[in-house]
Amino acid sequence: MSSKTKIVVLRMKEIIYTAIFVGLGILLITLFLVMFRPKKDTVPTSGDAVAYVPGVYSSAITLNSQDINVEVTVDSKKITSVTLVPLSEAVTTMYPLMQPAMDNLSPQILKNQSTKNISYPSESRYTSSVLIKAVDQALTKAQKTD
């Protein structure tokens, strides 16, 4: 009888260890699901209402020794215009894609009311990405903080 009891005790230990590891595995999987679940996007999309402080906001881009300002005009609920100022003759000569890239981006930004889902030609992808970052910086300045 005593040998039977020892076999039962060893099997019970295995069952207990298995139950503990299964419990830890479930806990680990639960933690991974909680930690790595998709977060809600905090960046507003075109359907979300964004509150702005009305005004003209600018963000500077420095190219060599030339400063180019990207100005974004907003009212309380929407973006009303996006422009480059001052665009001197030296800048247009040295960076000929700057103004055409902004001419391409501006209507899309006004239509989408954000810089997300903007398309631009591959020839001006770097110029467009710099301009989009500058517009994002200006819009960040324009947003109301609660």
pLDDT tens for the chain, 146 residues long, are 555 666 555 578 888 999 999 999 999 999 999 888 877 655 545 445 678 888 899 998 888 778 888 999 998 888 899 998 877 787 778 888 888 888 889 999 999 888 888 888 888 888 888 999 999 999 888 887 76
Rounded Cα gap, residues 74 and 120, in angstroms: 23
Q: What's residue 116's pLDDT?
A: 87
> At which residue do the structure tokens 């039977």 appear?
4
The residue type at 25? G
Rounded Cα gap, residues 16 and 35, in angstroms: 28
Q: What's residue 31's pLDDT?
A: 93
Yes or no: say if 138 and 70 are a contact pair by the CB < 8 Å rule. Answer: yes
Tokens matching residue 144: 């109301």
Rounded Cα gap, residues 55 and 139, in angstroms: 11
Q: What's residue 19's pLDDT?
A: 94
Rounded Cα gap, residues 76 and 53, in angstroms: 6
pTM of this prediction exceeds 0.85: no
